[in-house]
C-alpha cells in the first residue's frame, strides 16, 4: 500500500553497522614532521645567551620605569608587547618591545627626558655596562652588544584631540603603539594557554612571511591570528576586529574638536598592573 512506503522504499532505511577497520586508513605518523618543525623553530630562535641578555635588560629597564611611574605620576601603564611578549622572537630580530602609555601629552621633549632618565639610571647602577641609546619616531631604543629593548611611546586616547603636529609625536605612530598593547591583550585572552607547538607554528609562519616579498605587507597580527585559528585554539571574534581609526572632527556649530572611532577607554587597561 502507498501508506506503507516512506523514504527509503517500502521497508524504510536501515542503519548499517560499524565500518570495518579494514576500510579505515591508519593515521599517518607525523613524528618526523613535528620534530622537523621544532628543530626549525629552534634554529630560528635567538640563542640562550641572547635570550638571557634580553631578559636581563628588560628587567632593568622595567624596574627603572616602574620607579618613574610611582615618583612622577606621568605614566599610565607599561606593558610588554610584540614577539618578546608572545615568545615568538626570531634570530636577527632580538628586540624586546615595551609600550609606555603616558598620561601627559607625548612631546619629543618628554620622550627625550624619559630616555635620558632611563639610560642614566642604568649607567649609575652598572658603570661597566656599555649601553647605547637611540631616539626614533616611535620612542627610543636602549641596546647592549647582543640585546635591544625598544620603548614604544603612546598616550591615553583622551589626549589625542590635544595633539599638535609640530610639537607632539605623530598620531598615527601613537595609534600603532596602542594597537601593539591591544594585540598583546588579545594574545593573553586567546592564546596564552597555547602549547609550544602552537608558538612554534606561529614563529615559522612569521619567518616565512618575512622571507617572501609578496607577503611583506602582512602584519604579524594577521599571520598569528591565522595560526591560532588553524589549530585547536579558538580565539574570540574580537581578534578579527580592525583597530579603530582615530579621526578628528570639527563641530560645525561651535567649532569644538571631537575624536571619533575609539572610546576613551579603548586601547588601554585599567590600572591593574604593568602587563608583566
Say if CB 61 and CB 142 are below 8 A apart.
yes
In a domain, 36, yes or no: no
pLDDT of 191: 62
Residue 31 domain-assigned (yes or no): no
DSSP line for the chain: -GGG-BTTBTT------PPPGGGSPPPP--HHHHHHHHHHHHHHSPPHHHHHHHHHHHHHHHHHHHHHHHHH--EEEEEEEHHHHHT---TT--EEEEEEEESS--BHHHHHHHHHHHHHHHHHH-TTS--EEEEETTEEEEE-SS-EEEEEEEE-GGGGGG--TTTB--HHHHHHHHHHHHHHHHHHHHTTT--HHHHHHHHHHHHHHHH-GGGTTS-HHHHHHHHHHHSS----GGGGSPPPPPEEEE-TTT--EEEESS-TTTT---SS----
- Whether the CB-CB separation of 162 and 258 falls below 8 Å is answered with no
In terms of Cα–Cα distance, which of 86, 41, 93, 44 is closest to 197?
A: 41
Q: Bridge partners of 79? A: 99
**Does the residue 232 lie in any domain?**
yes
Range of the domain at 93: 44-260
Domain count, the chain: 1
Residue 23 lies in a domain: no
Is residue 17 situated within a structural domain? Answer: no
Within-domain flag for 191:
yes
- Tens digit of each residue's pLDDT, the chain (276 residues): 454 555 555 555 555 556 566 666 777 777 787 777 777 777 777 888 888 899 999 999 999 999 988 777 889 999 999 888 877 777 777 889 999 999 999 999 999 999 999 999 999 999 998 999 999 999 999 998 888 999 999 999 999 889 998 889 999 999 989 988 988 887 777 665 666 666 676 666 666 666 665 555 555 555 565 555 555 445 455 544 555 554 444 444 444 444 444 444 444 444 444 444
Nearest Cα neighbor of 200 from 179, 236, 224, 183 is 224
Residue-level pLDDT at 242: 52
Instruction: Of 132, 147, 142, give the one whose Cα is nearest residue 46.
Output: 147
In a domain, 107, yes or no: yes
CA distances from 173 to 25, 116, 176 (A): 54, 21, 5
Q: What is the pLDDT of residue 23?
A: 66
The model's pLDDT over 98-146, given as tens digits with 9 standing for 90+, comes to: 999 999 999 999 999 999 999 999 999 999 989 999 999 999 999 988 8
- Separation of alpha carbons 48 and 34, rounded Å: 22
Residue 69: per-residue pLDDT? 86
Pairing of strands 95-102, 148-155: parallel
Q: Measured between alpha carbons, how far is 242 from 225 in angstroms, rounded to an integer?
A: 12
CATH number at residue 114: 3.30.460.10
Q: Which residues pair with 135 in a beta bridge?
A: 140
- In angstroms, the CA 96 to CA 8 distance is 65
Q: Quick one: pLDDT at residue 256?
A: 47
Amino acid at each position: 500500500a502507498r501508506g506503507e512506503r516512506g523514504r527509503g522504499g517500502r521497508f524504510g532505511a536501515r542503519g548499517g553497522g560499524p565500518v570495518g577497520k579494514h576500510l579505515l586508513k591508519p593515521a599517518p605518523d607525523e613524528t618526523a614532521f613535528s620534530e622537523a618543525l621544532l628543530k626549525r623553530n629552534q634554529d630560528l630562535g635567538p640563542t640562550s645567551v641572547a635570550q638571557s641578555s634580553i631578559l636581563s635588560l628588560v628587567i632593568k629597564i622595567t624596574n627603572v620605569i616602574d620607579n618613574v611611574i610611582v615618583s612622577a605620576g606621568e605614566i599610565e601603564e607599561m606593558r610588554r608587547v610584540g614577539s618578546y611578549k608572545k615568545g615568538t622572537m626570531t634570530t636577527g630580530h632580538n628586540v624586546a618591545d615595551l609600550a609606555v602609555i603616558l598620561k601627559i601629552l607625548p612631546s619629543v621633549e618628554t620622550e627625550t627626558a624619559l630616555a635620558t632618565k632611563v639610560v642614566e639610571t642604568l649607567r649609575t647602577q652598572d658603570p661597566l655596562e656599555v649601553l647605547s641609546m637611540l631616539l626614533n619616531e616611535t620612542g627610543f631604543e636602549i641596546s647592549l652588544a647582543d640585546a635591544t629593548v625598544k620603548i614604544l611611546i603612546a598616550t591615553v586616547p583622551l589626549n589625542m584631540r590635544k595633539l599638535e603636529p609640530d610639537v607632539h609625536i605623530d598620531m598615527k605612530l601613537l595609534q600603532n603603539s596602542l594597537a601593539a598593547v591591544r594585540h598583546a591583550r588579545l594574545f593573553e585572552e586567546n592564546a596564552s594557554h597555547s602549547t609550544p607547538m602552537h608558538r612554534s607554528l606561529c614563529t615559522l609562519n612569521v619567518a616565512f612571511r618575512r622571507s617572501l616579498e609578496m607577503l611583506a605587507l602582512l602584519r604579524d597580527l594577521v599571520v598569528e591570528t591565522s595560526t591560532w585559528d588553524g589549530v585547536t585554539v579558538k580565539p574570540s571574534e574580537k581578534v578579527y576586529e580592525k583597530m579603530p581609526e582615530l579621526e578628528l572632527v570639527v563641530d560645525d556649530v561651535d567649532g569644538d574638536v571631537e575624536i571619533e572611532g575609539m572610546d576613551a577607554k579603548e586601547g588601554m587597561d585599567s590600572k591593574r598592573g604593568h602587563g608583566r
